[in-house]
Amino acid sequence: MGLDFSVVPDYLDVIFLGALWTIAITVGAALLSFFGGIFFAVIALYAPILIRLPFRGFEWLFMGTPLLLQLFLIYFGLVQIGIDLPAFVAGVIGLGLHFAVYNSELIQTAIVAVDRGQMEAARTLGLSRGQALRKVVVPQAVRDVIPPIGNNMIALLKDSALVSVIGVTELTLSAQLAIGRTYRPFEFYVIAALFYYVINLGMEAVLRRIERRIQAAR
Amino acid sequence: MSDEKPFVDIRHAQKSYGALEVLKDISLKVNRGEIVAIIGPSGSGKSTLLRAINDLDPLTGGEVWLEDTQVNKTLPHRQYEKHINQVRQDIGMVFQHFNLFPHLTVRGNITLAPRMLKGLSEEEANRLAEEQLDKVGMLERIDYYPSQLSGGQKQRVAIARALAMKPKVMLFDEATSALDPELVEEVNLVMKKLAEEHMTMIIVTHEMGFAESVCDRVLFMDQGVVVEEGPPSVIFRNPESERTKNFLRKHLASNKE
């Protein structure tokens, strides 16, 4: 039995729709992981100990356990305590928080590395510590780690396939549906891979643009 | 110097890190419009004293007053933060390493604090930035980023940033020490201009020539005490203390190399 790509066009719309879901999940989770990462970094560094310690536990939970398990926990587990999230939302939250923790680690290091004189200059002008962090220190720290955060975002795109297990018909699950009808796994997995690759290229282009724009401001 | 009441009043300032005493009971009164230079070897405590004036390096003893306000008064944490943020708006400070905000343009550097703290509109803040930059001769660079400026230009922008808060007094912490020799003059010129406008200034410096030509009074500090103070003509030409003489001799020798 040879390869036969002629069945593919009939299912292109399904695959295409799946690709759109993948993009939607990735963009949603990427935004959550970016802003969540900043928020977590500030908590990890500056919150009072009573908040910082439980937060450490939460971080450990997200870094030390499989993403797959986290998705199950958020989607199937939370229902038992009355939080019934749509699969898409659960997927975005799971992916987003998971990568927020990794981004937070990067941003924490960068915040600590910002020259002490920056905080001093801001305080000297009369800014409070919080204002100085928000307007002077954190923006610089985030700029410094945009490239490694970009790498995390690429990883996030690829890990978005895991969201298929809680029933979001994203790219990988769409390919599986088409395979279920046609028994042509090779063809559809290759097509799905191609779509992932194209989305990846688009994402890298966006990241490069952001990097170029912040380059001037150094 | 007609005001009988001092404008900046440091009373019995003390600062120690554990057993190490950096400032030993220093008092300094500066009148409105007066320009005071603090000179001395490194480690003499002169920067620490300057940084105590806006409480960047809090004293362990003594008081700092600006007009009728005690800068370092004892208050519960939250109230103190509010108080000090208010007071600092009146005290401009210029650092050795400029400390411009690299992620903001020259305009952004200058407008940030006035917009956040004084509630200026974008238009008002822009006008203020243009006005201050014009004063330091940097108006054409308003949309540049700090990384695109020379050291002297950065320091002039930093001065404009401090001036934009309309401070009552300006503190200069070795403002020209990090500059290449050929860039020192442009910053000195800006400071001279401020002197002519009767800005009250306290200047920690290694530039003896500048201190002599601009300042009304010079303090020589060594090992946490004021060894000698007086008009520049006396301190530089005819100092009393052996320590002052030694310091000036060494300084002249090293500058000639």
Q: What value does the mean pLDDT take over residues B192-204?
A: 95
User: Which amino acid belongs to residue B85?
Assistant: N
Reported as a single tens digit per residue, the pLDDT across A60-114 is: 888 999 999 999 999 999 999 999 999 999 999 999 999 999 999 999 999 999 9
pLDDT at A216: 61
Residues of chain A with Cβ-Cβ distance to B102 below 8 Å are: 140, 217-218
* Residues paired with residue B203 on neighbouring β-strands, in sequence order: B37, B172
Supply the CATH number for residue A169's domain: 1.10.3720.10
Q: What is the Cα–Cα distance from A76 to A84, expressed in whole angstroms? A: 8
Q: What is the Cα–Cα distance from B41 to B222, expressed in whole angstroms? A: 7
Choose from A111, A114, A125 for mutation: most chain B CBs within 10 A.
Answer: A125
Structural domain of A148? 5-217
The ipTM value here is 0.92
Q: Report the domain count for chain A.
A: 1
Contact B115, B122 (CB under 8 A): yes
Contact A144, A113 (CB under 8 A): yes
Alpha carbons within 13 A on the beta-carbon side of A204: 8
pLDDT at A7: 87
The residue among B91, B89, B123 whose CA lies nearest residue B107 is: B123
pLDDT at A96: 96
B40 burial level (CB within 10 Å; 0-12, 13-18, 19+): buried
Across chain A, mean pLDDT equals: 93
CB–CB contact B145 A218 (8 Å): yes
CB–CB contact B113 A117 (8 Å): no
Alpha carbons within 13 A on the beta-carbon side of B48: 26
Q: What is the Cα–Cα distance from A47 to B140, expressed in whole angstroms? A: 42
Reported as a single tens digit per residue, the pLDDT across A132-153 is: 999 999 999 999 999 999 999 9
Percent of chain B whose predicted confidence (pLDDT) is above 70: 97
Nearest CB to B95: which of A121, A139, A218? A121
CB–CB contact A117 B95 (8 Å): yes
- The stretches of B197-231 forming alpha helices (DSSP H) are 208-214
Which pLDDT band, with edges at 50, 70 and 90, does A217 fall under?
low
Reported as a single tens digit per residue, the pLDDT across A19-36 is: 999 999 999 999 999 999
Residues of chain B with Cβ-Cβ distance to A217 below 8 Å are: 102-105, 145, 147
CB–CB contact B95 A128 (8 Å): no
For chain B, list the domains and their CATH numbers. Answer: 8-101+169-254 (3.40.50.300)
Which pLDDT band, with edges at 50, 70 and 90, does B1 fall under?
very low
Please, which contacts does A59-67 make with residues 24 or more away whose CB atoms are closer than 8 Å?
A59/A101, A59/A104, A62/A97, A62/A98, A62/A100, A62/A101, A63/A101, A63/A102, A67/A94, A67/A95, A67/A98, A67/A159, A67/A162
Inform me whether the C-beta atom of residue B139 falls under 8 Å from chain A C-beta atoms: no
User: Which amino acid belongs to residue A65?
Assistant: T
Query: Is a pLDDT exceeding 60 seen at residue B46?
Result: yes
CA-angle at A205, arms to A199 and A208, nearest 5°: 140
Chain B: residue nearest A141 by CA?
B103
Which pLDDT band, with edges at 50, 70 and 90, does A1 fall under?
low
Q: What value does the mean pLDDT take over residues A164-173?
A: 93
CB–CB contact B145 A217 (8 Å): yes
CB–CB contact B117 A126 (8 Å): yes
A8's CB contacts (< 8 A; 6+ apart) are: A187, A188, A191
Residues of chain B with Cβ-Cβ distance to A131 below 8 Å are: 116
Choose from A124, A143, A212 for mutation: most chain B CBs within 10 A.
Answer: A124
Across chain B, mean pLDDT equals: 93
pLDDT at B21: 92
CB–CB contact A140 B102 (8 Å): yes
pLDDT at B43: 87
Largest CA distance in chain B: 56
> A5 or B132: which carries more pLDDT confidence?
B132
Residues of chain B with Cβ-Cβ distance to A120 below 8 Å are: 56, 95, 99
Q: For residue A157, give Cα distances in angstroms to A188, A201, B71, B79.
A: 19, 11, 53, 47
Q: What is the Cα–Cα distance from B212 to B228, expressed in whole angstroms? A: 15
3-class DSSP state of B27: strand
Reported as a single tens digit per residue, the pLDDT across A193-205 is: 999 999 999 999 9
Kindly report the nearest CA distance between residue B50 and chain A, in angstroms: 12
- A→B contacts (Cβ < 8 Å), by residue, are 115, 117-118, 120-129, 131, 135-136, 139-140, 143, 214, 216-218
- Nearest-10 crossing angle of helices A185-215, A8-46: 40
Chain A: residue nearest B171 by CA?
A124
CB–CB contact B103 A139 (8 Å): yes
Reported as a single tens digit per residue, the pLDDT across B2-45 is: 446 789 999 999 999 988 999 999 999 999 999 999 999 988 99
Query: Is a pLDDT exceeding 70 seen at residue A218?
Result: no
Reported as a single tens digit per residue, the pLDDT across B71-98 is: 999 999 999 999 999 999 999 999 999 9
User: Which amino acid belongs to residue A40?
Assistant: F
CB–CB contact B88 A124 (8 Å): yes
Kindly report the nearest CA distance between residue B92 and chain A, in angstroms: 7
Percent of chain A whose predicted confidence (pLDDT) is above 90: 87
pLDDT at A131: 96
Please report, in angstroms and rounded to a whole number, the separation of the first and last CA atoms in chain A: 59
Kindly report the nearest CA distance between residue B144 and chain A, in angstroms: 9
Nearest CB to A120: which of B99, B103, B165? B99
Q: For residue B149, give Cα distances in angstroms to A135, B96, B145, B146, B212.
A: 22, 16, 7, 5, 29
Give A178-216 as a DSSP string.
Answer: HHHHH--HHHHHHHHHHHHHHHHHHHHHHHHHHHHHHHT
Inform me whether the C-beta atom of residue B143 falls under 8 Å from chain A C-beta atoms: no
CB–CB contact A127 B93 (8 Å): no
Kindly report the nearest CA distance between residue A136 and chain B, in angstroms: 7
pLDDT at B5: 79
3-class DSSP state of B181: helix
